[in-house]
Structure 1
Amino acid sequence: MCVGIPMQILDCDGIAATAADGNREVLIDLSLTGPLPRGTWVLTFLGTARAVLPEAEALLILDALQGLRDIMAGGTGGDAFADLDARTPQLPPHLAAAQASGRTEG
């Protein structure tokens, strides 16, 4: 399994950039996004930026990843998943439509 890591662009030189996730700085490949300005948040997989992220979304993902690290170390995860705590589970649209029409089996 590959986990996407949000990183913020610190410096860009064509399709290569230095980016940071708060703990470390790395060189990332921007071939899929093209050159990006300093301060842009991207979702990276295996050293490659795959998508540009709004800052708020990047910070939520970083908090969730830190929460997972805390849980794996025996902690509680704190409020890393607070945005999900008050949310009720939702069915995908095709299953919600089937449920609304009274279907009870696949």
Structure 2
Amino acid sequence: MVGMLRESEGWAPEIARSAMLRGAELLIWWVSAAAPDLHTMARARADENRVFVALAAPPDGAGGIVSGVFDPLGQPLATGVPGAEHGIFASLFRPLARHKEMAPGSHVVFSWRPETFMGP
């Protein structure tokens, strides 16, 4: 299942967590303007929810890399070329997004109260 985040939704951890709890294995985060720390936030959302995150953003104008695909550990699988508009791709091994333990006894769902993230 795929979850979608747009613009500032990726900055709020609860929105990504809610999508993961509903079964998303891949979060696609689209932004219309580059901003500092987008990569850091995308990596954080991937790591804290143990899902793949694809970040799509225009070039930042300063020659920095903005777009990327990150694995459930927050590591980059593919990144854009600095300062250029183009497509990127990555192969995703979806079973990695189903393993939710960060370390023994630290399950990303069972150590939280999911009802606090889930709406009606």
Greater share of strand: 1
Q: Which has the larger radius of gyration?
A: 1
| TM-score between the two structures when normalised by the length of structure 2 | 0.25
